[in-house]
Structure 1
Amino acid sequence: MAQPTFLQSSLEQLATSECDSLILISDDFSAVEACPLYNEIKQLQQVDQRVGKQVLLTVCQSAPGQRLVLAPTGRINRDYDDVRRYFDAAKLAIVEAKAAGSKAPAIMLLNVPSSGKFQHALSVAAMGACQALWQPLEAREHHGASIEPIAQLYLVGASEVQIKQFNALTAGQYAARDLCGTEPERMSPPKFADYCVDLFAQSPVSTSVIDDIAVIDKEYPMLSAVARASYAVERHHPRVVKLTYHPAGEIKKTLLIVGKGLVYDTGGADLKVGGAMAGMSRDKGGAASVAGFMKAVAEYQPQGIKVVALLAVVRNSIGADCFVPDEIITSRSGVRVRIGNTDAEGRLAMGDLLHELKEQAKTEVNPELFTVATLTGHAARAMGPYTALVENGPALAKQLSYTLAQQGDLWADGSEVSRSRREDYDFVRPRTLADDVISSNTAPSAVTARGHQFPMAFLAIASGLDKHGLDSELPLPYIHVDIAGSGVEGGDWQHGKPTAASVASFFATYCL
């Protein structure tokens, strides 16, 4: 990976550093009298009406490298304004600095409101800059390091603790973008697993990979069904990747997370047609974000929290041996699942892994379970660019989704909370005595009422988590995290940059 290293600095220290440009971000450059560069900015305002209206790079003798970038946030005082104003401003500004030849820019925020929703504005600006700087793994491998020339970023006013946080979080987000945004042959299941092994080599996160098809068939029958048509091509064979972080000292909480890693989703027998298949190499975004969160954990090494992740890395191919609607598959938990639509494959790939972690949760300290996936078009349709959180009763009782969403708002990683309802369980009820649950209806989720909520009910039933609700002897909190709307910029699944959605929310909630 080639993410920049964050460095702590004051404005005065920049003069003796390797810094070669200064990015100033503010909502109003006429109200920054305390800034040492105020006189230069005021003079520039007198001759250039673009100041404060658009990102502007100018020559400034007092700035490092004589490069000064003024990046306005726009208004930040309306009900709907949030910290993403700083994220967006930094994205635009870093592109200008890079185009001007800067290799070690500094970011400084001016006139930041004292309001709580802007308390992490500098962190968010740094995240925005890195979102703009990231280039696809294949591009870096082809063109070399020259396409990502910025190796370090100075953050003016940051503390040492913040710098450690930034570097850990950025490492995780870069890994998530690499894993999500890479084409399906370069990031086939074996290569996805190899990337993870390399990513966590000599780190506090232990890695194990299941690659034996016989073991996968036996232990993960629903994942096996999804992968079945890929068995004819060895380079497409599935992998189950297990990542574990065990901190030193007392464990106070345990996170158990399943990530959907569909390296390519053709739709299977229910083939995606009419151009709908383009971009489906990003259907591994859930597993990518989970691996990214684990990378941030490995770098930051938080105390008191154990994290276990299982990644279902598989290709939903078509062929003579592909699974089809009407099949009944007995899951790892013993639940008989009737297939409704083979394009609803992600919940199958994750279901057996969720059962495995559910069983492990019974003996863990204060466990919380999650599935993270680019699961449904309905999440994108209903929530737009926000992550959808669907929780069970024990999670609702603890307000876990609310906490994740609240932290996401502070870290430019927004979520919307959805309720799991009785209609969702009724939707997947069995229609005959031959099966216990159906995986989906036959229509696309985007045109199905509660299309992103009912899959959580299926996952709960198929994994056996429905036996661990508030009415049980052992309630287990569970949240399904659907990043189908938030996983790439602008909803462009073929060309948009991956956003590493949910990494910042998890990191802020559980590591800081």
Structure 2
Amino acid sequence: MKSVNFVDVKDESAIFDGQGWDALIVVTHTLKGIPVDEVRLFAEHAASVDNRVGQSTCLLLAPGLAGGKLIIAPVLQVDDDYQDVRIYSDAAKAGINMAQASGALKPILMVIEANDERFQLADNVSALACAQALWQPLEKREAGKVPESIVEIGLFTSNKRGHKLSAIEAGRQLARDLCGTEPERMSAIRFSYYCQAAFEGSAIGIEVIDNIDLLIHDYPLLSAVARASFAVPRHHPRVVKLEYCGEGEITRTFLFAGKGVIYDTGGADIKVAGGMAGMSRDKGGAAAVAGLMKTLSLLQPKGIRVIAQLGLVRNSIGSDAFVTDEIVTSHADCRVRIGNTDAEGRLVLADLLSHLRIQAKSAPHPQLYSVATLTGHVVRCYGGYTAMVENSVAKHAKVGVHIQQQAQKWGEPIERSSLRREDFNKIIDPSGAADVLSSNNGPSAITARGHQYPAAFLLKASGLFDHGLHADLPLPFTHIDIAGSAVEGHPHYGSPTAAPVVSLINYILEG
């Protein structure tokens, strides 16, 4: 299954039968706002004889229109102050699902935006929502169990946006495949192969570190997590390095660390009471970063450089597993006491960030990020939303504010959390034997400030703490926790969302 391609449709004649399109989906808060007279009159007549039209998603037989099918997907509650542009997403998903069920393969999407700043990008958001609804799992596709599906959507628009949305969706498709696929089909090794295939011949440079001795030396915390997997060759860890360098003078540099825990058993602190179900999605951070790079490879913006490292490991159980109380020295020469082996993601990220920190020192206007399905606490705190935790430098530069603004407009809302002194107190090793303690020994979901204090650990264990607001070289760092937003629907096996690809790419493009 290819990612959905969006095509700009500017000629009104395309919505009529005989132009190659086979359905018209109208996403609107009012039938009166439909800009094409024939379509508006048809919809209003249908509403006069059926009260459901304009109140619930309906398919109308419409001779003369594309494929003879007119689908009205109403947008409700536009006057509710607490709603946002996702009400358009909801309507668009209902509309595209009905089109797919009717047998349509090439529908046109027409979106009528309410006159409200909240809905300024409703047409873009609706298009991406359609693609999200159409995604099918990689395993199902490879088994040949997916019937012919919609792979092209016409966008009835006066703007040139099809190329950008197609590029965003190609990145999201890659991210969903990497995140949502089971841990043998998408092991660390096969994850790296999938990335190599995705970026072959593209503007993205890729390097895969597969030598175990080199990983142990250069990524000691990551290798501690992976240690029990060394006995099983197909479960060996990988670090994937990706780089995009745009044309012209580089004025901004973005550096991303992606958590790719292929399967998280919890290690020696094993997950219990069914807690392991869905843990193949603990690679959502690395998946999202890979998806972001895919979109960059297609849009190829000028003047920016984007560097990414993906840490791919399996947190296995075995006689050689790392254990609580162990002290491991990070790449940044920080001595870390392991507090809980189920807090493995921050260990993986810390080594990646240490390497990125070194690269950031000589980069023009660098910004560093970690992206991870990191804590149950962020779900307890914010439900299905992404959360950001910034260091003092990023907060001063309002990095989170600007990302949040893009996220809100594009229907991928993000919450901002603050990093406080208590968060650093939590990572003090009471024994004094180590520089930091990685975590407490309880689940993050029941730990006070359970999604904030891991950012304090990342700063200390990666060496970024020494690049604060008053340092000779301040480095902005933002930790992005997507544990609540990486999947929608079923908590274990729902569809991956590819969050926060849409927010990040638009933040990067907008400058």
TM-score > 0.5, shorter chain as reference? yes
Partners of 2:372 and 2:281 in 1: CA distance:
11
AA partner of residue 3 (structure 1): S
CA shift at 1:163, angstroms? 1.2
SS at structure 2 position matched to 1:329? strand
Partner of 1:29: 31
Of 76, 98, 108, the residue aligned with 2:100 is 98
SS at structure 1 position matched to 2:226? helix
Partner of 1:138: 139
CA shift at 1:436, angstroms? 0.3
Partners of 2:242 and 2:26 in 1: CA distance:
40
AA partner of residue 135 (structure 1): Q
After TM superposition, the structure 1 = structure 2 runs for residues 182-201 of structure 1, keeping only pairs within 5 Å, are: 182-201=181-200
After TM superposition, the structure 1 = structure 2 runs for residues 378-417 of structure 1, keeping only pairs within 5 Å, are: 378-417=377-416
Partners of 2:412 and 2:35 in 1: CA distance:
32
1:104-144 C-alpha deviation (Å, 9 max, x unpaired): 0010012x123222121111001100010000011110126
Partners of 2:292 and 2:100 in 1: CA distance:
28
Partner of 2:156: 156
Partner of 1:5: 5
Partner of 1:487: 486
Q: Does structure 2 retain, via aligned residues, the 8 Å contact 1:297–1:511?
A: no
Q: Does structure 2 retain, via aligned residues, the 8 Å contact 1:280–1:493?
A: no
AA partner of residue 153 (structure 1): I
Partner of 1:508: 506
SS at structure 2 position matched to 1:37? helix
1:410-448 C-alpha deviation (Å, 9 max, x unpaired): 111110000100110011012123100000001100101
Partners of 1:294 and 1:493 in 2: CA distance:
27
Partner of 1:14: 15
CA shift at 1:393, angstroms? 0.4
CA shift at 1:61, angstroms? 1.2
Partners of 2:4 and 2:339 in 1: CA distance:
46
AA partner of residue 159 (structure 1): N
After TM superposition, the structure 1 = structure 2 runs for residues 91-490 of structure 1, keeping only pairs within 5 Å, are: 91-110=93-112, 112-143=113-144, 146-147=146-147, 149-160=149-160, 162-490=161-489
Tell me the TM-score normalised to structure 1 length.
Answer: 0.97
SS at structure 1 position matched to 2:496? coil
Q: Does structure 1 retain, via aligned residues, the 8 Å contact 2:93–2:133?
A: yes
CA shift at 1:37, angstroms? 1.0
Q: Does structure 2 retain, via aligned residues, the 8 Å contact 1:258–1:370?
A: yes
Deviates more, 1:346-355 or 1:21-30: 21-30
AA partner of residue 64 (structure 1): A
- In structure 2, runs of 5+ residues without a counterpart are none
Deviates more, 1:195-204 or 1:53-62: 53-62
Q: Does structure 2 retain, via aligned residues, the 8 Å contact 1:24–1:107?
A: yes
Identity of aligned residues (%): 48
Partners of 2:19 and 2:64 in 1: CA distance:
14
AA partner of residue 174 (structure 1): Q
Q: Does structure 2 retain, via aligned residues, the 8 Å contact 1:133–1:148?
A: no
1:315-343 C-alpha deviation (Å, 9 max, x unpaired): 00000000010000000111000000000
Task: From the superposition, tell whether residues 350 and 35 of structure 1 become closer, same or farther in structure 2 (CA, over 3 Å).
Answer: farther
1:43-93 C-alpha deviation (Å, 9 max, x unpaired): 111221111221111211132000111001101122111111111111111
SS at structure 2 position matched to 1:22? strand
Q: Does structure 1 retain, via aligned residues, the 8 Å contact 2:412–2:499?
A: yes
SS at structure 1 position matched to 2:53? coil
Partner of 2:63: 61
Task: From the superposition, tell whether residues 148 and 288 of structure 1 become closer, same or farther in structure 2 (CA, over 3 Å).
Answer: farther
1:466-491 C-alpha deviation (Å, 9 max, x unpaired): 0000121111000000000111003x
Task: From the superposition, tell whether residues 278 and 417 of structure 1 become closer, same or farther in structure 2 (CA, over 3 Å).
Answer: same
Partner of 2:87: 85
Q: CA RMSD in A?
A: 1.2
Partners of 2:186 and 2:335 in 1: CA distance:
32
Deviates more, 1:166-175 or 1:115-124: 115-124
1:146-171 C-alpha deviation (Å, 9 max, x unpaired): 435112100001523x1111011000
Aligned length: 508
CA shift at 1:203, angstroms? 0.3
Deviates more, 1:40-49 or 1:339-348: 40-49
AA partner of residue 506 (structure 1): L
1:253-280 C-alpha deviation (Å, 9 max, x unpaired): 0000000000100000010111110000
AA partner of residue 86 (structure 1): Y
Q: Does structure 1 retain, via aligned residues, the 8 Å contact 2:7–2:163?
A: no
Q: Does structure 1 retain, via aligned residues, the 8 Å contact 2:204–2:293?
A: yes
CA shift at 1:31, angstroms? 4.8
Q: Does structure 2 retain, via aligned residues, the 8 Å contact 1:98–1:150?
A: yes
Q: Does structure 2 retain, via aligned residues, the 8 Å contact 1:282–1:493?
A: no
Q: Does structure 2 retain, via aligned residues, the 8 Å contact 1:230–1:236?
A: yes
Partners of 2:22 and 2:509 in 1: CA distance:
33
